[in-house]
Structure 1
Amino acid sequence: MAQPQLTARSRCGGLDATIVLALVIGPCDGLFRMAQAIGHDAPSDIVIDRVPAPSQAEFERRYLHASQPAIFTDVVPRWKAWGRWSRDYFRQVWGKHRAQVMLTSGRNVQYDPNRSYAFREMPMGEALDRLERGSEDGAYLMLPLERYLPGLLDDVEVPSYCNARPGFRTRLWINAADIGTPLHRDFSENLIAQVRGTKQLILYPPEAAHSLYAFQRRSPVPGFSPVNAEVPDPVRFPRSVDARRAVVTLHAGEMLFLPSRWWHQVRSIEPSLNINFWWAAGVYEKIIRVAERLGLKASV
């Protein structure tokens, strides 16, 4: 949800490594801004394939390199998680483990445009209790598995599309029905695997940033938009009404490929449990590899 960040500094031959990376990142940002300034076609539906998982080569050709979302229908049911994961399972087996949650209020995740989400740590059992109460101080579990519950990865088969790729990260998401997120984009490639429940996602392509009044790059939340994609406001945000988009329903057992920089606003139709996989490709993969050679740690 943020621009690529360096978490360490190094020097290479007397040249500060952050300057080297700026030379890589800078031209790309310029291209992004140029794309945002280009006029948009008339509104039209964006077709999203719903197909069995393709081969690695076909995935890269049809979806990754083309920046085209798709839903794969036959991956998740092969996992141990498909028959094992439930709220009761997490309460009984992992209830005492620490969990990271985003706080919710009403039907939405709490969000401050000056600070992003409101996070808190608590035992998973307590987080599930808050989630099930449906109170104003509810919780939306967003758990980095590598940090909190690495053992859960034994229940899934990490797709070959992202396994061992630069910038690889996972998150476990558990939330009540009718909880939504603000409109935002990630700079990583993303696979969202729905294990329980159903979610609706409203998607916009990267070039829609201008129509979505995206917060500026120097703002605290450059990957967010003030537009409510569920009910675009023609008075405050007139350009958003005509922006091309796709409305996708992701059912249990399905996996959505969401390419880098695609805008998305998410709402759970039913109580939901899913895991996602982020990784870097294209220019962001190059940034991470350059950082690694310079002894830096970079993420997208």
Structure 2
Amino acid sequence: MREIEALWEEARELSLGTSGGVERLDSPPTPLQFLRDFVSPNKPCVISNATLHWPALSSWSHDSYLTRALSSAHVSLHLTPNGRADAAVPINSDDPSTLCFASAHALRMPFPEALNLIVNPHSTNFVAYAQQQNDCFRSEYSALAQDCDAHIPWATDALGCLPEAVNLWVGNHLSETSFHKDHYENLYAVVSGEKHFLLLPPTDVHRMYIRNYPAARYSYSQDTGKFTLESEKPMRCVPWCSVDPYPSPEAKHSAMSRFPLYFNGPKPFECTIKAGEILYLPSMWFHHVRQSPDAAGRTIAINYWYDMQFDIKYAYFNFLQSVPYQSTHNPTLPGTMSDDLDSDSDCDSFAYGCKDKLGADESVTNLPNASAKEE
């Protein structure tokens, strides 16, 4: 079905652009402009000079201010061995081809201790990332509420609602978010450091090689200083993007062979979001995130999740995702069998094959079409 590959090109030629860049605005748009030019066509943009009035842009550059304001706050901190949480990772190093969906080891601690672990990654054998989500800015970090807007006024007017959740993200150069999509209109504001996004539109869903992976969670032992992967019980399977856009040099050839639709297709849209800028990330766009810290060693961002409209675009996406597709780049490779997302038997078969390695029980649950809330 070459028509699917033609769709990728046509979407870029008609609407998104072919340069691989993201449109930039020098100042915040009016609600009408935002709705007409970006939300309605499901098109991302970067807005400069969008948050210059926030006290956070100056005050959060000082650790002393943050630790004083949050001196009594206990926050959630997420630990991984390599900075990659909520990602498809090998179950063990001896078999890199067998993957699971790994979530971070989560713990609660005073914010000053959490910040110290984030900005000093080389003094530990783990990567710490404050990525709680679930409206954490208005709960765990409420002491900072006066430092930035409770919502983005022009977005609120355009979308006709207040954000469902506002989240704070504090990480370092090792923190990474794997490709995924969200069912939200996402306004992503960087306060300190830089965020580097790779973006693919919903039309490119087959290029993500979404597969069902058994869910597991990292468990960190302070006694041994080591991580283990433990299966969730009852076992469930999570549909997740398989593509790592930055494979290691030794893994690059294998990755390009396994995922030709991604590596041989149109380049992802790329953008870097700096302090004072906002990225509008449209609903259902796939995105991968890396970051560069500020001089103090951390990257801080706030994002506002507004409910998307589950309209005809959502119906079109679900139909497209359901279409099995065989790569024309290498027809001997398995296609992107999106119907696997609705198949309990495939998930069960894979999960049981991983059961002994993960120490799982006999119960398996499949979550079709799950979409985790991420950056």
TM-score interval, smaller chain: 0.7 to 0.9
Instruction: Give yes or no for contact 1:98–1:121 (8 Å, CA) kept in 2.
Output: yes
Instruction: Give yes or no for contact 2:57–2:275 (8 Å, CA) kept in 1.
Output: no
- Percent of aligned positions that are identical: 24
CA offsets, 1:127-177, max 9 Å, x none? 112112203223111241122122322211221213772662011111112
The residue type equivalent to 1:182 in the other structure is S
Aligned mates of 2:125, 2:87 — CA distance in 1? 14
Structure 2 unaligned blocks of 5 or more: 13-17, 89-99, 215-235, 315-371
Instruction: Give yes or no for contact 1:115–1:221 (8 Å, CA) kept in 2.
Output: no
* Aligned residues: CA RMSD: 2.8
2:246 corresponds to: 230
Tell me whether 1:136 sits opposite 2:125 in the alignment: yes
Residues 227-236 or 73-82, more deviating: 227-236
Aligned pair in 2 of structure 1 residues 214, 255: CA closer, same or farther (>3 Å)?
same
The residue type equivalent to 2:128 in the other structure is A
Aligned mates of 2:281, 2:55 — CA distance in 1? 24
1:181 corresponds to: 177
Name the SS of the counterpart of 2:211 in structure 1.
coil
CA offsets, 1:99-149, max 9 Å, x none? 112213235346464354443222211211211220322311124112212
2:81 corresponds to: 105
Question: CA shift at 1:88, angstroms?
Answer: 2.9
Name the SS of the counterpart of 1:211 in structure 2.
helix
2:188 corresponds to: 192
Aligned mates of 1:267, 1:114 — CA distance in 2? 19
Aligned pair in 2 of structure 1 residues 152, 188: CA closer, same or farther (>3 Å)?
same
Aligned pair in 2 of structure 1 residues 107, 119: CA closer, same or farther (>3 Å)?
closer
Match of 1:215 among 189, 211, 220: 211
1:54 corresponds to: 29
The residue type equivalent to 2:44 in the other structure is P
Aligned pair in 2 of structure 1 residues 215, 167: CA closer, same or farther (>3 Å)?
farther
Instruction: Give yes or no for contact 1:193–1:254 (8 Å, CA) kept in 2.
Output: yes
The residue type equivalent to 1:280 in the other structure is D
Instruction: Give yes or no for contact 1:103–1:110 (8 Å, CA) kept in 2.
Output: no
The residue type equivalent to 1:283 in the other structure is F
Could you say which structure has the greater relative contact order, defined with CA pairs below 8 angstroms and 6 or more residues apart? 1
Instruction: Give yes or no for contact 1:76–1:253 (8 Å, CA) kept in 2.
Output: yes
1:247 corresponds to: 270
1:88 corresponds to: 64
Name the TM-score, length of structure 1 as normaliser.
0.74
Question: CA shift at 1:178, angstroms?
Answer: 3.6
1:72 corresponds to: 47
Match of 2:304 among 273, 277, 280: 277
Find the structure with the greater CA-based Rg: 2
Instruction: Give yes or no for contact 2:191–2:302 (8 Å, CA) kept in 1.
Output: yes
Question: CA shift at 1:264, angstroms?
Answer: 0.9
1:256 corresponds to: 279
Aligned mates of 1:186, 1:243 — CA distance in 2? 22
> Aligned ranges for residues 129-168 of structure 1 at < 5 Å?
129-134=116-121, 135-143=124-132, 144-157=136-149, 158-160=151-153, 161-162=155-156, 165=161, 168=164
Instruction: Give yes or no for contact 2:80–2:104 (8 Å, CA) kept in 1.
Output: no
Instruction: Give yes or no for contact 2:189–2:279 (8 Å, CA) kept in 1.
Output: yes
The residue type equivalent to 2:148 in the other structure is V
Question: CA shift at 1:281, angstroms?
Answer: 2.5
Question: CA shift at 1:76, angstroms?
Answer: 1.4
